[in-house]
């Protein structure tokens, strides 16, 4: 029997891209879940107009990490074998989904993680300089401290083996959630394989919100969350700066 796959897409005010991304994604996945994280634009209206799209709606913005945790819990409740996550701002191309599906069939990994920098940091990359440099620094820290061999700590285009997911362990609701998640899966011995995906930034002016718009504050926050996760015995606590939202 073939694996059951769920495509999960967290969104926050994505009226500009939503319809195109979902219509394109339908070409590759029949089961699609959208987690609407308190959108205040036309996103909820557009979702109501689209058939066969499952939706979880947050009454207010709860964060990128919380959106993923809810998607993971949904996948477990509905007995999916794999959940593929992608963004809805056209940074991730639905045309790359078949690559993840093919990688899943190899059955040699528990996390298939997209990488926009398979050869390391590229100075000519279109991503904003501060994001590239922070990604490089955090990726190097994760590799050194956790014994990983990854090239992109923050790519949201991933495929997760649902049976190993522990949604309740994800307590960091915001954009620093990967810092907690990488620690958890390293402890649990997940097999990680990276898959190159295109590096696309249509709007380099998009912001994080609150204190995280300051690159120095952002990297301090990531390191703080990482250190808390490393120090925790079982339950990893929430470390969230004031005014932080998950959007990128």
pLDDT digits (tens, 9 = 90+) for 7-49: 999 999 999 999 999 999 999 999 999 999 999 999 999 999 9
Asked if 117 and 103 count as a contact pair (C-beta separation under 8 A), the reply is no
99 within domain boundaries: yes
Pair of tokens at residue 218: 């952002």
Q: Which domain holds residue 73?
A: 5-231
Domain tally, the chain: 1
Torsion sign across C-alpha atoms 208, 212, 213, 215: negative
What's the average model confidence in pLDDT over 206-221?
77
Give the separation between CA 238 and CA 26, rounded to whole angstroms: 35
Examine residue 151 and state whether it is found in any structural domain, yes or no. yes
Q: Does residue 149 form part of some domain? A: yes
Work out the angle at residue 208's Cα, subtended by the Cα atoms of residues 129 and 155, and round it to the nearest 5 degrees.
65
- Residue 202 belongs to some domain of the structure: yes
- CA 74-78-79 angle, to 5 degrees, is 115
Query: Does residue 241 form part of some domain?
Result: no
Residue 242 lies in a domain: no
Give all strands of the β-sheet with 158-161 in edge-to-edge order: 54-58, 32-37, 5-11, 82-85, 158-161, 111-115, 192-196
| pLDDT the model gives residue 204 | 59
Query: What is the model's pLDDT at position 146?
Result: 97
Q: What is the pTM of this model?
A: 0.88
In a domain, 246, yes or no: no
Average pLDDT estimate for 44-57: 96
Is the distance from CB of 58 to CB of 35 less than 8 angstroms?
yes
Q: Tell me what pLDDT residue 71 has.
A: 98
Q: SS3 for 182? A: helix
Plot region of 209 (φ>0 → left; ψ -120 to 50 → alpha; else → beta): left
For the chain, percent of residues with pLDDT exceeding 90? 76
Distance (Å, rounded) from C-alpha 48 to C-alpha 206? 26
Tell me which of 28-32, 115-119, 151-155, 232-236 is least confident.
232-236
Sequence length of the chain is: 248
Which residues on adjacent β-strands are paired with residue 18?
none
- Contact in structure between 241 and 221 (CB atoms under 8 Å): yes
Kindly report, residue by residue over 83-136, the tens digit of the pLDDT. 999 999 878 999 999 999 999 999 999 999 999 999 866 554 566 788 889 999
**Under DSSP, is residue 56 helix (H, G, I), strand (E, B) or coil?**
strand
Q: Which strand (E) or helix (H) includes residue 46? A: helix 43-48
The Cα–Cα gap between 53 and 43 comes to 13
Q: CB of 172 within 8 A of CB of 236? A: yes
Q: Give the list of residues 6+ apart from residue 23 with CB closer than 8 angstroms, or none.
A: none
Residue 70 CB neighbours (<10 A): 20
CATH at residue 53? 3.90.550.10
Task: With respect to residue 237, please indicate whether it lies within any of the assigned structural domains.
Answer: no
Q: Is residue 72 predicted with pLDDT exceeding 60?
A: yes
Residue 207, CB-side half-sphere exposure with 13 Å CA sphere: 8
């Amino acid at each position: 029997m073939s694996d059951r796959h769920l495509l999960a897409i967290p969104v926050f005010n994505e009226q500009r891209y939503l319809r195109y991304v979902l219509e394109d994604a339908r070409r590759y996945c029949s089961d699609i879940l959208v987690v609407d994280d308190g959108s205040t634009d036309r996103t909820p209206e557009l979702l109501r107009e689209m058939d066969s799209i499952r939706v979880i709606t947050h009454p207010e913005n709860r964060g990128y990490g919380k959106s993923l945790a809810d998607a993971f819990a949904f996948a477990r409740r509905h007995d999916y074998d794999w959940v593929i996550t992608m963004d809805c701002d056209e940074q991730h191309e639905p045309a790359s989904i078949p690559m993840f599906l093919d990688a899943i069939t190899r059955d040699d990994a528990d996390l298939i993680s997209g990488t926009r920098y398979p050869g390391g940091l590229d100075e000519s990359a279109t991503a904003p300089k501060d994001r590239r440099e922070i990604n490089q620094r955090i990726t190097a820290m994760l590799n050194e401290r956790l014994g990983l061999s990854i090239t992109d700590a923050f790519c949201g285009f991933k495929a997760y083996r649902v049976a190993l997911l522990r949604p309740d362990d994800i307590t960091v609701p915001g954009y620093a959630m990967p810092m907690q998640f990488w620690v958890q899966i390293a402890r649990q011995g997940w097999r990680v394989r990276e898959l190159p995906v295109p590096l696309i930034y249509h709007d380099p002016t998009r912001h994080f919100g609150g204190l995280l718009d300051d690159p120095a504050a952002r990297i301090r926050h990531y390191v703080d969350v990482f250190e808390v996760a490393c120090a925790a015995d079982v339950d990893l606590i929430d470390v969230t700066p004031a005014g932080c939202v998950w959007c990128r």
